Each structure stands twice: as C-alpha cells, then as structure tokens.
Amino acid sequence: MPYQVPREHIQNDASLSNAPPEAGMYGWEGRNNQSSLPYHHHPPDDEPHVNMVHIDLFHHFSTSNYGFVNTEQQPISHLVKEVAVRHAITTPFLMHQLLALAARHRSSVYDDPNRQAFYQHLATQLQTQAISLFGRVDLNTVTPHERVSIFLFSSLLGFQDLCDALSLRAASFEVFMARYLGYVHLHRGVHKVIKGSWENLRESELRPVLAAGHVMYENCGTGPECDDLKRRIDAAEGLGDEEKEACHGAIRHLQWLFDRRPDVRTHVNVLLAWAAMFPDGFLQLLEAGRREALCVLGYYFVLLHDCKDVWFVLDAGEVLLGLLVEYLGPEWAEWMKRPEELLREPLVGEPWG
C-alpha cells in the first residue's frame, strides 16, 4: 500500500525552492491514517517573544555535548557549534532552528510526560517559525555569510526532522515511511537552494566539516557488505535500467559508510546526509513503495543501528529493520538475510553519545 507524505512537508519543500506547492500527494498512506500526524501545522507568530526558556535553550546548545554534532571528532564538533552560534546571532531563521533542535533534545531527556510534551511542542513551534523566516530570504542576493547560515540551517533542520521520523518507529512501517519521506523532501529542498554554492562553502570556515561529506559524494565504497544487494538489484526483473542505476547510486554511498565500520559512529553526520545524496530516481522508487528500494533502505537501518548510542537513534535501526522484514513478507526474506546478518555483527570500538 503506498504511503502518503504529509502535505506540510511538500509545501515546505516547495517553498524552500521558491516553487509553488505540489498539488498532488505522494504515496505511502498509513493504515491508521497516522501519516497526517500534526507537524508544522501551527501558523507561526509574526514576532515571537524571547523569554528565559529561549535563553536556556541557547545555553544548552552552546555548552552541551549531547550529539547535536559528532562529539567523537572534538575539533569539528566545537567548530560547528562555534560557527552555528556566531551565525545564529545575526540570522533569525538559524537562531530559531538552533533553539528548536535544543528543545527537541530536551524533550528526550525527561521522564516526565508533561515536560516531554512541552519541549516537543516548543521544538515544533520554533522550527515552524524558522522555516517561515527562511522563506522570506531573497535567494537571489545571498551573501557568502548567508550561504554558511543556510547550510547550517539545512543540517540542523534535517537533524531535527530525522529525530521526529525515528520517534515514530514504534507505530508502523507505513507511518514511519510517511514521516521519513517528509524529512527527505524537506532536507533535499534546502540542499537544492544551496546547490550552486558548494565551492564557496568549501572555502568557508566550514571547510573541515564538509570534507567528509565531499569524500562520500565523490567516492564509492569498495567493501563486500552490499555485494549481495547489488547482485539482486542487477537481476531484478521488475526494475528498468534507469531504476537499477538509481538504486546503485544510493548503494554506493551506503557502501562508503560500511567501509568505515566500526567507526561509522564517527561519521553520523554524513549518515544523516545520505538522504540529500541519493539520486532523485531512488527517491521516486521509495515514494512508490518499490520493494527493491525498500531493501536498500534496510541496509541504511543497519548503519543507523551502528549509531545506537546516539540519543535520537537508540534502537531505531533494529526496530525499523524488523518492521521492514515484516512488511516485505517471506517472499523477500532472501533479500533481507544479509542486512539481518550485518545488524547482528558486533562492532569493535568505544561508543559515543
């Protein structure tokens, strides 16, 4: 059964690229109609008041070590925080998104349901306002300073959206996919805005941060983890040549990450960027619910499981792979045998979180 991407995400994706909202809806409609969970649905206040909660969130982002960025690579972690905080001071849309992510993290550390709900709601409000403020940016007159702010905004926005998608892992695979595709559209929408600015960004203060992502984008993995998947894609009678190439494009970036096991946890930010890197054709296959593309996604869940020590991942990789196996059914069991084996393989190395 196809899944449905919440309309809010398609509208946001379109606004980010200065295009009118799509009239149609994508597939993936959850069985219980939970794919339309309220998200980005509150109209933002024109000028929200700053209060002590916001100050506390700003301090939390600035001083915490809770995996907003990769804490294993301390120099890069500190650089991202330093640059994000400095740019946020003069960039309202980035400041709101920075505070939104801090609130999202706060919602995960409390056992009190009321506090969880408060910070989750606040995170949604702040992100909604951030997107609204970003929509007012004149993209034809973006300065080098603003390009850096937009890149950071994209990264933090994608981070929070993936947090929210993974939080639905206990619902059903259909519900998760609807939310995950919303995250993909939103994340790719902002990346399209800065598509022509990569060379300038690589010469900016973010140069060390972008290096790993650039290597992943330009290089292919060489390890054996995805060999079985690649053979099955090549032999898939239901896929055309272009569809097979789209799947291979997504697999190449995943294999690059597998090559870095057990240190993939030190590349968690690059793992987040996978959604912005795989081909448009692969996204279309996911939207259509094509089983071969979902099997590729199963290997991504293995890499998520490698990051289980990160506060927003936890058991998501294992749970989602199990849901996918159940969703695909016994006729796809051979396709799923290898990722299930990979998930059970122990990783050597110290966790981080």
Give residue 65's pLDDT. 65
The residue among 102, 131, 247 whose CA lies nearest residue 189 is 131
Q: At 136, is the secondary structure helix, strand, or coil?
A: coil
Longest Cα separation, the chain? 60
Q: What is the DSSP letter of 20?
A: P
Q: What are phi and psi of 175, to 5 degrees?
A: -65, -45
pLDDT in tens, 286-318: 999 999 999 999 999 999 998 888 888 889 999
Give residue 121's pLDDT. 95
- The rounded average pLDDT for each run of 10 residues, N- to C-terminus, in the chain (353 residues) is 48 38 40 35 52 92 67 58 91 96 91 93 95 90 86 87 88 93 86 72 75 60 91 97 97 88 64 85 97 98 89 92 97 98 77 38
Q: What are phi and psi of 27, to 5 degrees?
A: -70, -145
Quote the CA–CA distance of 284 and 27 in Å, as a whole number.
Answer: 10
Neighbouring C-alpha atoms within 13 Å toward the C-beta of 100: 29
Give residue 207's pLDDT. 77
Tokens of 321: 């792979």
Give residue 248's pLDDT. 97
Quote the CA–CA distance of 95 and 81 in Å, as a whole number.
Answer: 12
Give residue 132's pLDDT. 94
Give residue 204's pLDDT. 80
The residue among 101, 117, 4 whose CA lies nearest residue 312 is 101
Question: Could you write out the three-class secondary structure of 331-347?
Answer: HHHHHHHHHHHHHHCCC
User: Which residue type, as a one-letter code, is found at position 71?
Assistant: T
Exposure string over 294-314, b if 16+ CB within 10 A, otherwise e: bbbbbbbbbbbbbbbebebbb
The residue among 60, 71, 65 whose CA lies nearest residue 268 is 71
Is-cis flag, bond preceding 351, omega within 30?
A: no
Tracing tokens 């597998």 back to the chain, one arrives at 258
Give residue 13's pLDDT. 42
The residue among 198, 184, 352 whose CA lies nearest residue 272 is 184
The pTM score is 0.79
Quote the CA–CA distance of 324 and 333 in Å, as a whole number.
Answer: 10
Query: Would you say 320 and 274 are in contact if contact means Cβ atoms under 8 Å apart?
Result: no
Give residue 322's pLDDT. 97
Tracing tokens 């009118």 back to the chain, one arrives at 20
Give residue 17's pLDDT. 38
Where helices occur in the chain by DSSP H, the ranges are 7-16, 52-63, 74-88, 92-109, 113-134, 144-166, 173-193, 198-202, 207-218, 227-235, 241-258, 268-277, 280-287, 291-306, 316-328, 333-344
